[in-house]
Structure 1
Amino acid sequence: MIKLSKRLQTIADCVTAGARTADIGSDHALLPVYLLQSGKCPSAIAGELNYGPYQAARKQIAEAGLTKVIEARQGNGLGVLAPGEADTVTIAGMGGALMADILETGRLAGKLEGVKELVLQPNVGEEIVRKWLSKHGYVLQGETLLEEDGKQYEVLHALRAADSPADVTNERLYDPSFLPAAMEPGLKQEWLYRMGPYLLRQRAELLPNKWRHEIGKLERICKQMGQSELPESREKEALLRGEINAIEEVLSCLQMVKPSSNC
């Protein structure tokens, strides 16, 4: 059986057994091949925009002897799917803005019809993906923050609201009342989207490290802005300082909140 990276294995573990799966941006089709070889899924589609990765996916599928149950398709995003053709869609390794755009374009075209489950791994802009899910009737079931090859990744697992347990709703997930009252309500809400409702509540082990690293990047940018006398630079530096202060406030709150697996 093919061996997956830690990141792809985390995604595979989230996929519901028995689901017809479509992996969008499949590259070498490693994830679909694993899902079939492990017996977790009965069929899969490997979608890829560019010709080179599409051919690599076809080769991987053929070498695994799975051409009858995994189909490689070349196309843009969810355009490779027909409505009702997949139960689960996985998308990994791209920015959150692009991921949300792929999902929205597919939604408007009816490509998400019948899709009960989304497993998503944005490289950046995770809050954009969380907001899209919340707006369009998907509810997070869990989040994983992992580290691989010196980089940190977030894997988001969501179900349609109709398929989500009754006690797991977006209203409960994004209810910021568990955070200390000293924080402004609007700030609480925004940081639930940015840091992740599960990751915050459970005080994910890697979460402080991730955001301390972000603070470091912002500090370096502020230092560069400080060397400029332009008014725009002063304004940009002030905004970044506000961002740093907000992150520090949320991180300090994490030390005050008991970890919880409940919403």
Structure 2
Amino acid sequence: MPGSSVKLEPRLQAVAQEIKAPTHADIGSDHALLPRYLLLCGRVQRVIVVEKHKGPWENSRRALEGLAAEVRLGDGLGALSPGEADSLSLCGMGARRMVRILSAHPARLPPRLVLQPNDSALPLRQWALQAGYALVNEQMVEGFWRHSILTLKRGACTAYSGLPLELALRFGPLLLKSKHPLLSAELLARRQQLARLPQVEPVRLELEHIEQALALLQGF
């Protein structure tokens, strides 16, 4: 298989399978493993990598030398022009940081986004609804921890229909509807952790949300 020399960890492999576009932008790529894989596998024709700091910029330039790639030193979407990319990925950052990047230049956002936060995806789901992006796919992948991967497409969102909005935003509407086994495992593990803590109000509230989500999973 072309590009098989590029080994991606499971979270990035899951991201890669969501990307197929003429021009793809990757923000904060560091060693550029994902863009290199996308090019060598023919999933994209061209990539634009944006790095904020000189070290990662140099790493990405070396990794992508000789390929149809442009590595830019800049701050997030500020380094892109409107309409320049067909899709965009953000991986391995906190969700709130991702929201700041996505919100900074709304006119430069492409129609398709693939997002892999390192913490709760709740802020990204909230942002997507407000920004007019539909959640079209949702994955959970084992890794250093259980990673969520969101695929968003500009347009009206129907993913939350038939679910309590607060629970769906917190735990993922498509993960809930598909009864994703890793979501069940995550909820059960978190419930066990919380049960050992002093039962102050925030802990009790989170436990209540988890119990409601588990009941939903059993009810589908």
TM-score by length of 1: 0.78
Name the counterpart of 1:246: 209
1:39 is displaced (CA, Å) by 1.1
Name the counterpart of 2:146: 152
2:45 aligned with 1:33: no
Name the counterpart of 1:111: 108
Name the counterpart of 2:179: 203
Distance in 2 (alpha carbons) for counterparts of 1:55 and 1:81: 19
- In structure 1, stretches of 5+ residues that fail to align are 162-168, 178-187, 227-236, 258-263
Deviations 1:178-234 (A, max 9, x none): xxxxxxxxxx211101111110000001011112232344344x33xx7xxxxxxxx
1:82 is displaced (CA, Å) by 1.4
CA contact 1:97–1:125 (8 Å) conserved in 2? no
Name the counterpart of 2:101: 102
Distance in 2 (alpha carbons) for counterparts of 1:105 and 1:219: 39
Assess, with a 3 A threshold, how the Cα gap between structure 1 residues 176 and 81 changes in structure 2: closer, same or farther: same
CA contact 2:176–2:216 (8 Å) conserved in 1? no
1:86 is displaced (CA, Å) by 0.4
- In structure 2, stretches of 5+ residues that fail to align are none
CA contact 1:121–1:155 (8 Å) conserved in 2? yes
- Return the letter of the residue paired with 2:19: V
SS in 1 for 2:146: strand
Name the counterpart of 1:183: none
Distance in 2 (alpha carbons) for counterparts of 1:123 and 1:33: 22
Assess, with a 3 A threshold, how the Cα gap between structure 1 residues 217 and 80 changes in structure 2: closer, same or farther: farther
4+ long deviations beyond 4 Å: none
Distance in 1 (alpha carbons) for counterparts of 2:7 and 2:148: 20
CA contact 2:93–2:118 (8 Å) conserved in 1? yes
**Which of 158, 161, 166 pairs up with 1:175?**
161
Distance in 1 (alpha carbons) for counterparts of 2:192 and 2:56: 35
CA contact 2:136–2:159 (8 Å) conserved in 1? no
Distance in 1 (alpha carbons) for counterparts of 2:58 and 2:18: 27
CA contact 1:91–1:121 (8 Å) conserved in 2? yes
TM-score by length of 2: 0.92
1:10 is displaced (CA, Å) by 0.7
Q: Which has the higher strand share?
A: 2
- Return the letter of the residue paired with 1:198: L
TM-align CA RMSD? 1.5
Deviates more, 1:73-82 or 1:209-218: 209-218
Distance in 2 (alpha carbons) for counterparts of 1:216 and 1:105: 38
- Return the letter of the residue paired with 2:176: L
SS in 1 for 2:119: coil
CA contact 1:95–1:123 (8 Å) conserved in 2? yes
2:117 aligned with 1:122: yes
SS in 2 for 1:92: strand
SS in 1 for 2:187: helix
Tell me how many residue pairs correspond in the alignment: 216
Larger RCO of the pair (alpha carbons < 8 Å, separation 6+): 2
Name the counterpart of 1:10: 14
Deviations 1:96-128 (A, max 9, x none): 111111100021xx222xx11000001113011
Distance in 2 (alpha carbons) for counterparts of 1:238 and 1:3: 45
Distance in 2 (alpha carbons) for counterparts of 1:40 and 1:242: 43
Distance in 2 (alpha carbons) for counterparts of 1:6 and 1:41: 19
